[in-house]
Structure 1
Amino acid sequence: MKKFGLLPRIVVAIVLGIVVGLWSPDWFVRIFETFNGIFSSFLTFIIPLIIVGLITPAISELGKGAGKWLGITAAIAYGSTLFAGFLALAVSMTVFPRMLQPGSFTEVVNPAEALLGPYFTVEMPPVFGVMTALVISFVLGVGMTLLQTDTMHKGFVELRSIIEIVISAIIIPLLPLYIFGIFANMAAAGQVWDVVTTFASVIVLVLSLTVVLLLIQYFVAGAIAKKNPLTSLRTMMPAYATALGTSSSAATIPVTLRQAVKMGVSRPVASFVVPLCATIHLAGSTTKIVSFSLAVMFLADVPVNIPVFIGFIFMLGITMVAAPGVPGGAIFAASGLLTSMLGFTEPQVGLMIATYIAIDSFGTATNITGDGAIAMVVDTLSGDDLERDLLVEDEEGRLIAVPDEGEPYLQDKD
């Protein structure tokens, strides 16, 4: 099953869920409705802990970084993430009223009205709410940075390891079964084909948005760095392709770093910016989540409160910090905000998870390719603040560092 990736499993779950929902009796569908209820309760319980376990040590670690340039890089990355969210909001609010039929999926997003309920439920109230988890993460993370306490930091690093095990060993393996139940419910409600075809058009729109976003990022970075944006973007394509295969920003760091250096970014800047932005720069993920959540709200005929949604975008950029290290981590971290700020129901969150994971690798590829643009900007702004070695590639494709003083030395290609 490890060789059979998450995306193929999700696709199989969707297809089987549709088949089972169309042809199975109600009592059989209720079995999976029961599982979905229990799994949803567990997600409600674990999401605040995911937020605390991922964000707190991430803030602590970022605070011990490279001083001024840590703040500047983080500000640029957060600004890029916010821009992606507002771009998706503007485009979605313009296009969706013409593309989607408001209220057409009211029964689908509330399947309890169309189907029998679960056989039983298990309540798992969270220890604290999502907003409380965010406040705790900020207070403890910043506090550990100021006090530079190793004991608490090590404890939260271990908590992060536990949370990552829970996600990788429990949530991710059971996720296909959960999505299977969601689509079985929709099929039994008789509207699954409308859902699939409608979200296919939404997915096409989102993929187009990610392309536009990358072009904007590189044209802005190219103007600042005085470099050809299309040439720079083409140089980063190996990193984009690698991310499509790995669906992990962290796993793509070596390729992203190498291509950033090939673009002309100095090695010290690239070595600092690329790993940092792999954690905090989530423009592609934000584009997907904002677009999909607005699509669900339009389809359910839920009024979109623009001020609330703007606040949701601001919180989204913070909540997803450190999530790229976990498969599908961004949407799991964001699901708490979906329910607390936007009022999403369990089936609506399930639709979000299914559509998000369906194109997860494209969001990751957009995230890490945008990291190259940020590296270009930071490299230009930093001037002589950071030590720079000239990097050239020899005939064998090896990177050779040529410092201002001393002998050239071989650089690790990774």
Structure 2
Amino acid sequence: MILGIAVGAIMGEKAAIFAPLGNLFLKLITMLVIPLVFFSIISGAASLGKTKSAGKVGFLTLAYYLVTSAISVLIGIGAGSLFKPGLGVTVPEALLTDSSVYTEAGKVAGFWDTIIGIVPNNPFESLITGNILQILVFSLFFGICLASLDEKKQKPVLDVLSTVNDVLIKMVEKILLLAPFGVFGLMANSIAVFGIDILTLVLKLFIVFTIALSTIHFGMIPGLVALFTGISPLKFLKTLAPAQILAFSTASSMATLPVNTRCCEELGVDNTTASFVLPLGATINMNGNAMLYGLIAMFFAQMFGIEIGASQFVAIVLTSVLGAVGTAGVPGPSLLVVAVLAAAGVPVIALPLVFGIDRILDMMRTSTNTLGDASCAVIMDSIIKREKKEALAN
């Protein structure tokens, strides 16, 4: 990334000769977005369907994760609207003209037309045209219905889906090996196209991201714990500190799972509850990611002068929340940003600016993701114990 910035600054417009390197990398990533979303969400939704066996706790856990993810998206959108990190750079006229195509593609007449529009007439046509929202809805519905079948009928289908999903993730891993070359080409070309001033916007984006993430990390999550359990925010954050440090270092919710479980147990959470809630959270709860998707959509919309209407607003929230289901195991979580931008009708041409700083963003948001998992475990444990106490009293 730094080399790409340096080459772009030194060579100026001539640095555009490196654009093919970056464009190839971006096309390889984009190539996998549709199949990855399709298969991973079916697998994820089918797995989630099994939570019905956990009864009320399973339902409440799922509801908590989805609602907090939606709130996180709104915080990202709100931060982007308030601080406007995407303003302050001159975008070439040709790119502004091209972006109008995305604006029109993302527009739907109104709220109810948007809701109706996310249901596909033909799911295969949606796959071909790349309609992300329709693909999300069909995949989610298919996965939930698959989970309702008896296990004997489920297994062969789930085995195939799981294998295909594993192959796609392996493809992503191989493509990400080209990231140093791709990011170099993309950054060099971005500096050539937008000028060195674009780095100011990247810095603004990082600052706004930090503010929005801190709002979730130190405000929303500990606040919910205090509201539902009475545990003070300071005690909650202090006890979870070891898990937060590991999550930040590894950028992996799964790798943090054992430490996160131990920290929750120190807060009095029963191991049975933690063993159910935390792995599920590591799979679908992406508070930090969801916030980032909303913020980036606003960032690029402002950059290209695109006004986000009601339809795009709904598209951003739905794609960010539903897209988290089943895609947590995908390397480089910012891959889903492509899907969110496409659903909202925002061009992806400047996405390299985010890829360049994605590693540090990933470390930060993973820390918030795991804190969100822990908050759910603490709250669910409190609800279970309260109900047991009430049952004994009666």
> Do structure 1's residue 17 and structure 2's residue 4 form an aligned pair?
yes
- The structure-2 alpha-carbon separation of the partners of 1:256 and 1:40, relative to structure 1 and needing over 3 Å to count, comes to same
* Equivalent position of 1:70 in the other structure: 58
Residue 281 (structure 1) shift: 0.9
Residue 262 (structure 1) shift: 0.9
> Do structure 1's residue 106 and structure 2's residue 91 form an aligned pair?
yes
Residue 314 (structure 1) shift: 2.3
* Equivalent position of 1:393 in the other structure: none
Letter in 2 for 1:285: N
- Native 8 Å contact 2:169 2:331 kept in 1: no
Q: Which moved more, 1:305-314 or 1:198-207?
A: 305-314
> Do structure 1's residue 337 and structure 2's residue 322 form an aligned pair?
no
Aligned ranges for residues 186-335 of structure 1 at < 5 Å?
186-189=190-193, 191-192=195-196, 194-214=197-217, 215-329=219-333, 331-335=334-338
Deviation per residue, 1:170-208 (Å, 9 max, x gap): 2x112232221121112223613x222222122122112
- Native 8 Å contact 1:296 1:348 kept in 2: yes
DSSP 3-state at the match of 1:383: helix
- The structure-2 alpha-carbon separation of the partners of 1:373 and 1:38, relative to structure 1 and needing over 3 Å to count, comes to same
Residue 161 (structure 1) shift: 0.9
Match of 1:175 among 162, 176, 179: 179
* Equivalent position of 1:46 in the other structure: 32
In structure 2, C-alpha distance between the alignment counterparts of 1:247 and 1:300, rounded to whole Å:
31
Letter in 2 for 1:184: A
In structure 1, C-alpha distance between the alignment counterparts of 2:278 and 2:6, rounded to whole Å:
44
- The structure-2 alpha-carbon separation of the partners of 1:325 and 1:223, relative to structure 1 and needing over 3 Å to count, comes to same
DSSP 3-state at the match of 1:323: coil
- Native 8 Å contact 1:225 1:377 kept in 2: yes
In structure 1, C-alpha distance between the alignment counterparts of 2:187 and 2:268, rounded to whole Å:
48
Residue 137 (structure 1) shift: 1.6
DSSP 3-state at the match of 1:227: coil
Aligned ranges for residues 82-93 of structure 1 at < 5 Å?
82-93=70-81
Residue 306 (structure 1) shift: 4.3
* Equivalent position of 2:118 in the other structure: none
Letter in 1 for 2:171: V
* Equivalent position of 2:45 in the other structure: 59
Identical columns (%): 21
- Native 8 Å contact 1:111 1:186 kept in 2: no
- Native 8 Å contact 1:240 1:368 kept in 2: yes
Deviation per residue, 1:15-50 (Å, 9 max, x gap): 1112222344867742x3223333333333211111
- The structure-2 alpha-carbon separation of the partners of 1:322 and 1:251, relative to structure 1 and needing over 3 Å to count, comes to farther
- Native 8 Å contact 2:316 2:343 kept in 1: no
* Equivalent position of 2:369 in the other structure: 367
- Native 8 Å contact 1:235 1:263 kept in 2: yes
Letter in 2 for 1:161: D
Compare relative contact order (CA 8 Å, sep 6+) and give the higher one, 1 or 2. Answer: 2
Q: Which moved more, 1:147-156 or 1:320-329?
A: 320-329
Return 5+ residue gaps in structure 2 as ranges: 99-125, 390-394
In structure 2, C-alpha distance between the alignment counterparts of 1:335 and 1:357, rounded to whole Å:
17
Residue 111 (structure 1) shift: 10
DSSP 3-state at the match of 1:250: helix
Residue 223 (structure 1) shift: 2.1
Higher helix share: 2
Residue 310 (structure 1) shift: 3.3
Residue 85 (structure 1) shift: 1.1
- When normalised by structure 2's length, the TM-score is 0.82
- The structure-2 alpha-carbon separation of the partners of 1:305 and 1:321, relative to structure 1 and needing over 3 Å to count, comes to same
- The structure-2 alpha-carbon separation of the partners of 1:189 and 1:242, relative to structure 1 and needing over 3 Å to count, comes to same
> Do structure 1's residue 33 and structure 2's residue 35 form an aligned pair?
no
* Equivalent position of 1:154 in the other structure: 159
Q: Which moved more, 1:235-244 or 1:86-95?
A: 86-95
Residue 299 (structure 1) shift: 2.2
Who wins on radius of gyration, i.e. which is larger? Answer: 1
Letter in 1 for 2:369: N
In structure 2, C-alpha distance between the alignment counterparts of 1:322 and 1:28, rounded to whole Å:
39
Letter in 1 for 2:336: A
Residue 101 (structure 1) shift: 3.2
Residue 86 (structure 1) shift: 1.0
- The structure-2 alpha-carbon separation of the partners of 1:173 and 1:343, relative to structure 1 and needing over 3 Å to count, comes to same
Residue correspondences, number: 355
In structure 2, C-alpha distance between the alignment counterparts of 1:62 and 1:133, rounded to whole Å:
18
- When normalised by structure 1's length, the TM-score is 0.79
Letter in 1 for 2:200: T
Return 5+ residue gaps in structure 1 as ranges: 1-13, 114-124, 388-414
In structure 2, C-alpha distance between the alignment counterparts of 1:111 and 1:22, rounded to whole Å:
23
> Do structure 1's residue 378 and structure 2's residue 380 form an aligned pair?
yes
- Native 8 Å contact 2:243 2:256 kept in 1: yes
* Equivalent position of 1:95 in the other structure: 83
- The structure-2 alpha-carbon separation of the partners of 1:25 and 1:220, relative to structure 1 and needing over 3 Å to count, comes to closer
- The structure-2 alpha-carbon separation of the partners of 1:309 and 1:105, relative to structure 1 and needing over 3 Å to count, comes to farther
Q: Which moved more, 1:218-227 or 1:132-141?
A: 132-141
In structure 2, C-alpha distance between the alignment counterparts of 1:128 and 1:196, rounded to whole Å:
34
In structure 2, C-alpha distance between the alignment counterparts of 1:155 and 1:184, rounded to whole Å:
41
- The structure-2 alpha-carbon separation of the partners of 1:340 and 1:88, relative to structure 1 and needing over 3 Å to count, comes to closer
In structure 2, C-alpha distance between the alignment counterparts of 1:328 and 1:250, rounded to whole Å:
14
* Equivalent position of 2:69 in the other structure: 81
In structure 2, C-alpha distance between the alignment counterparts of 1:112 and 1:360, rounded to whole Å:
32
